[in-house]
Structure 1
Amino acid sequence: MFSWLARAFSACLRPVRQYARMSKDDNDDGSDSPSTVDDALVWFRDLEKHSGGEFSFAVVQANEVLEDHSQVETGSDGVFVGVYDGHGGPEASRFINDHLFRHLMRIAQEKGSMSEDIIKNAVSATEDGFLTLVRRSYGIKPLIAAMGSCCLFGVIWKGTLYVANLGDSRAVIGSVRRSNKIIAEQLNREHNASKEEVRRELRALHPEDSEIVVMKQGTWRIKGIIQVSRSIGDAYLKRPEFSFDPSFPRFHLPDPIRRPVLTAEPSICSRVLQPNDKFIIFASDGLWDHLTNQEAAEIVHNNPRTGIARRLLKAALNEAARKGKRTYKELQKVKKGMRRCFHDDITVIVVFIDHELLGKRNVPVPQVSIKGFIDTVGPSQFRSFQEME
């Protein structure tokens, strides 16, 4: 394992041209126009409609296999946005992409409403479903027990915004204040051991474990392994029957866990949208590694809606290139897998709020499901909400 890490680190230091995609379509002119983002690893939908406004969607792949999955679901009374940042492989994030929204629709229709409890139950059903899959697959594919995903999603339903989060993705709302100044407000708490409050919480929950969080390779990690304290999956840190033996050194714990080290309990907030609330940015941590909340909000506020998610991607990639002592053009040519030396997979979804449309009936908006990067479009189950009164 250590020799593999050494080779990977060495490869990151080699000239980027050794990994260049030999094509001539990198026509970046140095401007901030999203049209100049010409990158084989970027997927986007520049502007689409939802019942209360519009949205822009973009994804860039960095890993050999994309671990970010994402979706937007539009309906006559609302919109659903999901960003699922996987780790250890794409299986958990893909599972959430396929099941979370369905659970939410099923439970909401049974209850005839939307609420924080309904959202919590949908997350719980998704976690239970994935752990069942782990249990069935563990004998032939043991590493599935080390696969997990952060999970950030939001629902705008009849003028109320609900945001739920597990992990370190982030939702930021942009609101206009005096003199047309945009103010960025982070809506969710991040569950990452780099945060002092998260370390305090973990130590309080596990007073008997002096190594519940340890500094490793310059980063605070739970049990020296993982940074996020809440996730879907990561069964080996939640159920003792999925613990790894020493033949899996990366995931092996010296002592079996007595109770879950990670949880699937989401943090949830809700707010009635006000006229000065203009947009929400949902993004995986790959974006926030390079942009502050305020920087991202100002980019959205000061530029056209069309292509705004791509514009945010480009701003983050420009910063990643600068930190890596590369030009933006050089970074564009780096292949997947090697791109991870410079930045993470990044998903960005910007949802604009047009208050004159909120709550209106008979708004001609397609009821569609869009899955990011894999680029599948189909009818959305959001239409079942029409029956909820």
Structure 2
Amino acid sequence: MSTKVNGTNQYKLTYQVGVAENKNSKFRKAMEDVHTYVKNFASRLDWGYFAVFDGHAGSQASKWCGSHLHTIVEQMLLEDENSDVRDILNRSFVLSDEQINSKLPGNSGCTAAVGILRWELPSDSANQVSDLSQHRRKLYTANVGDSRIVLFRKGHSIRLTYDHKASDILEMQRVEHAGGLIMKSRVNGMLAVTRSLGDKFFDGLVVGNPFTTSVEITPEDEFLILACDGLWDVIDDQEACEIIRDIKDPNEAAKTLVRYALENGTTDNVTAMVVHL
């Protein structure tokens, strides 16, 4: 499922977005992945918002995030433009987690991987400077769970997210300190991810605080891959970048990744978003 939001686009964007998805009907009865992208995010020229969500125990949480998370992030950004975007992403994720748990029926949850691309002035520049050549592109990311964002720079993949899995020693310790148990690499023997949005049945153990990053985008950066674990279960970061590095059309690149995942035995829904920079 996709949620596509288009802003006013009178000028050519400096980035291109391609998306592909597949329910993988051989193994899955329902599609619980959702993706969202917003052109000219926050009504700012050439900003972008990109996100993938992988639902579990139903699609309610992932659909909610696909429809609402970008609005929450935008409101917080506009209310406090001097805050670190990473802090705004953290607060947005925590608020979304609370709203899903209080408003939605059932116990669904979802992983999330979100990127915000925007133009900024260097911190040592005067605010009134209007010379566009001084602006720099910055990418901010946030994730919970095992959906992943990978940047391809100078022939090398750079993972910008952190896989919050119950097999991770740091996450195991956090869950156990909060009173939970890790059994068979699952929280209380049931959930494989240790951070998500929703999952109120695991409230206090599975949290919505994301891992966040900030990176300046340079001419050496070629593209981003945002994808759910249906892709990453069967391919590593570098190989995923290698197989699409020469594909100029981001839609075709995304389709290539989804096709690869299906042909190589993934048992999950598959969603891949490619952002050419």
Q: TM-score range by the shorter chain?
A: 0.7 to 0.9
Which one of the candidate residues 54, 58, 72 is aligned to 1:85? 54
The CA distance in 2 between the partners of 1:50 and 1:295, in whole Å, is 30
Which one of the candidate residues 96, 104, 109 is aligned to 1:148? 109
Q: Can you list the C-alpha shifts for 1:24-64, whole angstroms capped at 9, x where unaligned?
A: xxxxxxxxxxxxxxxxxx99x9xxx9722212110111332
1:94 aligns with 2:58: no
The CA distance in 2 between the partners of 1:234 and 1:79, in whole Å, is 28
User: Could you say if the C-alpha distance between residues 50 and 200 of structure 1 is closer, same or farther in structure 2, counting changes exceeding 3 Å?
Assistant: farther
The CA distance in 2 between the partners of 1:223 and 1:98, in whole Å, is 30
What letter matches 1:279 in structure 2?
Answer: F
Q: Can you list the C-alpha shifts for 1:231-286, whole angstroms capped at 9, x where unaligned?
A: 11111111xxxxxxxxxxxxxxxxxxxxx111111111111112211111000000
Q: 1:382 maps to what in 2?
A: none
Indicate the SS of the match to 1:262: coil
Which one of the candidate residues 253, 278, 287 is aligned to 2:231? 287
Kindly indicate whether the alpha-carbon contact (under 8 Å) linking 2:175 and 2:206 is maintained by their aligned counterparts in 1: no
Q: 2:167 maps to what in 1?
A: 194
The CA distance in 2 between the partners of 1:346 and 1:50, in whole Å, is 29
In the alignment, structure 2 segments of 5+ residues that lack a partner are: 5-10, 120-136
Kindly indicate whether the alpha-carbon contact (under 8 Å) linking 1:104 and 1:119 is maintained by their aligned counterparts in 2: yes
Kindly indicate whether the alpha-carbon contact (under 8 Å) linking 1:131 and 1:233 is maintained by their aligned counterparts in 2: yes
Which one of the candidate residues 323, 348, 351 is aligned to 2:275? 351
The CA distance in 2 between the partners of 1:221 and 1:278, in whole Å, is 36
Q: 1:184 maps to what in 2?
A: 157
Kindly indicate whether the alpha-carbon contact (under 8 Å) linking 2:22 and 2:269 is maintained by their aligned counterparts in 1: yes
Q: Deviation of residue 315 (structure 1)?
A: 1.3
The CA distance in 1 between the partners of 2:144 and 2:160, in whole Å, is 13
Superposition map of 1:55-134 within 5 A: 55-62=17-24, 63-75=28-40, 76-112=45-81, 115-134=85-104
Indicate the SS of the match to 1:171: strand
Kindly indicate whether the alpha-carbon contact (under 8 Å) linking 1:51 and 1:79 is maintained by their aligned counterparts in 2: no
Indicate the SS of the match to 2:264: helix
Superposition map of 1:1-389 within 5 A: 51-62=13-24, 63-75=28-40, 76-112=45-81, 115-134=85-104, 137=105, 144=106, 146-158=107-119, 159-176=137-154, 182-203=155-176, 205-206=177-178, 209=179, 212-215=181-184, 220-238=185-203, 260-306=204-250, 307-320=252-265, 343-353=267-277
User: Could you say if the C-alpha distance between residues 53 and 123 of structure 1 is closer, same or farther in structure 2, counting changes exceeding 3 Å?
Assistant: same
Q: Deviation of residue 297 (structure 1)?
A: 0.7
> Higher relative contact order at CA 8 Å, sep ≥6: structure 1 or structure 2?
1
Q: Can you list the C-alpha shifts for 1:97-119, whole angstroms capped at 9, x where unaligned?
A: 11100111111111135611111
Indicate the SS of the match to 1:116: helix
The CA distance in 2 between the partners of 1:121 and 1:171, in whole Å, is 20
What percent identity do the matched residue pairs reach?
A: 26
The CA distance in 2 between the partners of 1:184 and 1:293, in whole Å, is 6
Q: Which runs of 4+ in 1 moved over 4 A?
A: none
Indicate the SS of the match to 1:73: strand
The CA distance in 2 between the partners of 1:55 and 1:273, in whole Å, is 16
Indicate the SS of the match to 2:267: coil
In the alignment, structure 1 segments of 5+ residues that lack a partner are: 1-41, 138-143, 177-181, 239-259, 321-341, 354-389
The CA distance in 1 between the partners of 2:31 and 2:61, in whole Å, is 12
CA RMSD after TM alignment: 2.0
**Structure with more strand by fraction:** 2
Kindly indicate whether the alpha-carbon contact (under 8 Å) linking 1:50 and 1:78 is maintained by their aligned counterparts in 2: no
What letter matches 2:156 in structure 1?
Answer: I
The CA distance in 1 between the partners of 2:98 and 2:192, in whole Å, is 22
The TM-score normalised by the length of structure 1 is 0.60
The CA distance in 2 between the partners of 1:274 and 1:199, in whole Å, is 36
Kindly indicate whether the alpha-carbon contact (under 8 Å) linking 1:56 and 1:351 is maintained by their aligned counterparts in 2: yes
Q: Rg bigger for which structure? A: 1
Paired positions, count: 244
The CA distance in 1 between the partners of 2:52 and 2:12, in whole Å, is 17
